[in-house]
Structures are given as C-alpha cells and as structure tokens.
Chains A and B, each alone.
Chain A
Amino acid sequence: AQTVTQSQPEMSVQEAETVTLSCTYDTSESDYYLFWYKQPPSRQMILVIRQEAYKQQNATENRFSVNFQKAAKSFSLKISDSQLGDAAMYFCALKGGSNYKLTFGKGTLLTVNP
C-alpha cells in the first residue's frame, strides 16, 4: 500500500518570500515517482514538478524546487520569490514504478499575501 501525508493543512507566505511545503510518503516499491500538483480554484490539477526516486539530484523547475530525502521518505516543495498566482491548493502525489495509480495527500492550502 502507498500513503502520502501532508501535515500542513494551510500555509501562508509574503509575496517575494520563500515557502516550503512538507510531504512524507511510504511505499514498498523500490522504483517510484513523486509529484507536486497545484490546484487553483478552477479545479484543474496542474503538474508543478516531478522527481524520479532513482535520481539523487533534486528536481528544479524555475522558482520551484524539491528536497528529496529518500531514506527519510520526505519530499518537500520550495517555492522561491512567491507570486500572487502561486496561491492554490498543493498536493503531493506518489506513483509506484509498476503502477499507474497516483496516491495523493490531503493537500496544503497556500495563501500569498501582497
């Protein structure tokens, strides 16, 4: 079984500042993928960043980067230079390498204050 835990129901950040969203997970698979999705009020899930478990290097996408700690089963998302458009629900998700199902956490609501 796969589980994903997001322990921060809500977070807030000042515009232009940096914020980190936490995620821990559990899986019995040795090959897996981790994702962060953004869900604005439009409800559409948008992929922010992905990390392959076999890669030691942390993934980065412009202002978004992850801190992947495989031994600790931790996968946090750092948003730098936060913008008003970053305000949304953020979901951490896990997919086993031999699987097609995404397992999502409960999400973190990010507020960006001007």
Chain B
Amino acid sequence: GAGVSQTPSNKVTEKGKYVELRCDPISGHTALYWYRQSLGQGPEFLIYFQGTGAADDSGLPNDRFFAVRPEGSVSTLKIQRTERGDSAVYLCASSRGQSGELFFGEGSRLTVL
C-alpha cells in the first residue's frame, strides 16, 4: 500500500484478555517504530525494529508487552493480560533507515473495559 496500515482501527476488550495489533509499513522501509499515545498526551516510544530484530525495546512498559517483525515487514504488537491502563492509541511508523523521515499510520485505538 501507499502508506502505513494499522489494524484493527479500534479494539475493545475486557481486562485480562490478550490483544494483537498489526502494522504493515511502507514497502521498502527497513525501520519500524511503535509509539503509545494516551489521552491528552503526546506519543511515547515503545520499540524500534531495524529489519527483523528489535534494536531497542526500552520503551515497553512491562513484560506483558511484546512485539515481533519476523520477516522484516509486518509487525505485531502483542499485549497479554490487558489492564485498563493499557487503553490508548497505539501508533506505528516506518522510515527508510534510521535517519529517514517517519511516516505514521492512523493508529489502533485500544479500549480495555
């Protein structure tokens, strides 16, 4: 596709459930980022992939959060045992290398009841 695609656009789940959020970056972009945007805040860094490997996962809040990018393209953010505090918009971005301009998707809004 022409831009970064994220699915689902909206996800409502119950506390304790498992959730997967998908990001399809722009073709040819080797760098991929996940950010989390809580209500009334700016996005906060979660994890950065260069190719297939997570080059920096220092922003993941705890071990309930995990992300993969097995073939260096599509990435999945996985959240186990969701909590109400996980409710936020999860933004994905990709770039042509580490220093390239970031292109963002429209985000996945997660609501944990």
Contact = CB atoms under 8 A, between A and B. Distances in A.
Contacts of B109: 43
Contacts of A50: 101
B91 A106 contact: no
Instruction: List the 4 closest A-B pairs by CB distance, nearest first.
Output: A104-B42, A45-B104, A43-B107, A44-B106
A101 B48 CA distance: 8
Contacts of B89: 43
21 contacts: A43-B89, A44-B105, A44-B106, A45-B43, A45-B91, A45-B102, A46-B104, A47-B102, A91-B43, A93-B42, A100-B31, A100-B55, A100-B98, A101-B56, A101-B59, A102-B43, A102-B102, A104-B43, A104-B44, A105-B42, A106-B41
Interface string A43-68: 11111001000000000000000000
A44 B6 CA distance: 11
B65 interface: no
For chain A, what secondary structure do more than half of its interface residues adopt (helix, strand, loop), or is it mixed?
A: loop
Interface of B: 31, 33, 35, 40-45, 48, 55-56, 59, 89, 91, 93, 98-99, 101-102, 104-107, 109
Interface of A: 4, 42-47, 50, 91, 93, 100-107
B91 to A, nearest CB: 7
Nearest to A4: B42
Q: Which of A46, A102, A105, A106 has the most CB of B within 10 A?
A: A102
A46 B106 CA distance: 10
A44 B104 contact: yes
A91 B45 contact: no
B43 A100 contact: no
Nearest to A105: B42
A44 B41 CA distance: 15
B107 A106 contact: no
A114 B99 CA distance: 39
Contacts of A106: 40-42
Given A43-B89, A45-B91, A102 B104 contact: no
